[in-house]
Copies of this chain bind each other. A is one copy, B any other.
Amino acid sequence: MKNHKNAAMLARATAVALGAASAYVLAQGAAQPTPSERAIEYRQAVFKVVAGNFGPLSQNAQGKIELPAPAARKYAERLAAVADFTRDAFPEISREGKTRAKPEIWTDRAEFDKLVADLNTQSRALAAVTARADAKPEEFKAAVGAVGNACKSCHDKFREK
C-alpha cells in the first residue's frame, strides 16, 4: 500500500519532470518527443542558459549596459556552472534531428572535447575575475573576450552556419 502510494507520487514527479513543453504536447494528444528530440531540446536549452548568462557580461564589457559587480559575478558563476553541462550535451543519440550540430562532433570527438574544455576553462577564469574586488576592467574585458572566442572557435568548426 505504501509502495503503491510512493509509486503514484513518483509517477506524478516524473510527469512534472517532463517539463512545460512536453506536457503541453501531451495535452494536445500529439506524439511525445523521441529520445533524440529530447536530447537535442535539452542541449539547446543548456546553450540558451549559457547565452543568457554570458549576454549581460558581454554587453557590459562592451559598455552597452551597466552591471553591478555582484550581478556580474552571479552571471559569471552561473555561466561557469552551466558551461560544465555542455560536455555531455552531445550524446550519440542527439546526432540526427533538427540540429545545427555537425557530424564532425562525433567523428572528431577529441578535437570537439578540447574546445568544450576550453569553454569551461575560460568560463571559470571569467568567474574568478568577477570574484576579485581588485580586478581591472581590462582583465574583465579580456576574460569576456576569451569566453567569446571559445564559443566562436567551436561554432566555426562544429556548428552549421
Contacts and interface: CB of A to CB of B under 8 A. Distances in A.
Between A13, A14, A21, the greatest number of chain B beta carbons within 10 A of the residue's beta carbon is seen for A13
Contacts of A61: 10, 13
Main secondary structure of the interface of A (DSSP, over half): helix
A41 interface: yes
Interface in A30-73: 38, 41-42, 44-52, 54-55, 58-59, 61-62
Contacts of A7: 62
Interface string A74-103: 000010011001000000000000001000
B10 A151 contact: no
A133 interface: no
Interface of A: 6-7, 9-14, 16-22, 38, 41-42, 44-52, 54-55, 58-59, 61-62, 78, 81-82, 85, 100, 141, 144-145, 147-149, 151-152, 155, 159
A155 B155 CA distance: 36
Contact of A47 (B9, B20, B51): B20
Contacts of A13: 54, 58, 61, 144-145, 147-149, 151-152
Contacts of A48: 19-21, 41-42, 45
A50 B55 CA distance: 21
A70 B10 CA distance: 21
A141 B17 CA distance: 15
Contacts of A18: 51, 55
